[in-house]
Amino acid sequence: MDKSLRTPVIAGNWKMNLTPAAAKALIEEVKPLVADAGCGVVFCVPYVDIAAAAEAAAGSNIKIGAQNVHWESKGAYTGEISAEMLQAVGAEYAVIGHSERRQFFGETDVTVNLRVKAALAAGLKVILCNGELLEQRQQGITMEVVRYQTKINLAGVSASALANVIIAYEPVWAIGTGLTATPEQANEVCKGIRQLLAELYDADTAAKAVIQYGGSMNAANAADLLAQYDIDGGLIGGASLKAKDFAAIVAAASA
Ligand code: PEP
């Protein structure tokens, strides 16, 4: 397998931060810093920021995404947003299955799968998150957990549709905690996910799949993580809110 088959993607997850005006200001600050990026650059922003962020990013290499998407296109689903609505205001990506959705909002592997299929059918690109809890790592079942999640989350997704899916391996214990998986730990799981994709699809599809690491990636540790063979970029929370830190991670992915 050849790492050069894959273009890394650095995606910021702003979580529940920034108003539309602050979103615009941050994108304007980041734009010149990442203009020569040799990787994909995405910001997944709060719903209300999408239009402002897309307007600020227009004409640049920065793409805008949402942090979730519902599986129905419309209807009586108070508080939810459809893929069509996201696209109408400029979103091209959606994060699905983030551990904070699973942990705090009852998201299950089955609803993650429904969201993934609906987003892909509508033409959104998906950043699909999975990862083990600390106790699962301590019990030595990390790969079983991640394989189980990935299999259910991708059920019914074809090999051609998988080209529009980025898988983000995010150990839950590393998200927002300042604890980072070592490059070797992160690569081992990303490699295991690629192996699973070869089993579920085929070797070529697996070799081309973009698999990110996420979990306290920052300007200081990004280069070592991104140098790993099976890590094709990162999903970045905290550090994506700081223009210079985010740009340094993009530079590390472009090297
Ligand atoms: C995330 O929100 O997906 C994430 C990885 O957050 P942080 O970088 O802050 O750990």
* 193 contacts 170 by C-beta, under 8 angstroms: no
Q: Is residue 151 part of a domain?
A: yes
Q: Is residue 253 part of a domain?
A: no
> Which burial class, exposed, middle or buried, applies to 110 when counting CB atoms under 10 A from its CB (0-12, 13-18, 19+)?
exposed
Q: Rounded to an integer, what distance in angstroms lies between the CA atom of residue 97 and that of residue 145?
A: 14
Q: Is residue 251 part of a domain?
A: no
Q: Is residue 73 part of a domain?
A: yes
Phi, psi of 74 (to 5 degrees): -170, 170
Q: Is residue 197 part of a domain?
A: yes
Q: Is residue 210 part of a domain?
A: yes
Question: Cα–chain-centroid distance for residue 237?
Answer: 10
Q: Rounded to an integer, what distance in angstroms lies between the CA atom of residue 2 and that of residue 216?
A: 27
Locate the ligand 1 atom nearest the alpha carbon of residue 239 and give its number.
8
Q: What are the pLDDT digits (tens) for 76-97? A: 999 999 999 999 999 999 999 9
Active site residues: 98, 170
CATH code: domain of residue 236: 3.20.20.70
Q: Is residue 214 part of a domain?
A: yes
Q: Cβ contacts of residue 182 below 8 Å, gap of 6+? A: none
The closest residue, in CA terms, to atom 8 on ligand 1 is 237
Partners of 44 in beta bridges: 13, 65
Angle of CA points 44, 47, 51, to nearest 5°: 85
CA of 133 to the centre of ligand 1 (A): 14
Range of the domain at 129: 3-240
Per-residue pLDDT band for 239 (boundaries 50, 70, 90) equals very high
Q: Is residue 247 part of a domain?
A: no
Q: What is the mean pLDDT of the chain?
A: 97
Global pTM value: 0.98
Give the whole-number percent of the chain exceeding pLDDT 90. 96
Per-residue pLDDT band for 35 (boundaries 50, 70, 90) equals very high
* 223 contacts 231 by C-beta, under 8 angstroms: no
CA of 76 to the centre of ligand 1 (A): 31
Report how many domains make up the chain.
1
Residues with C-beta less than 6 Å from any ligand 1 atom:
13, 15, 170, 175-176, 214-217, 235-239
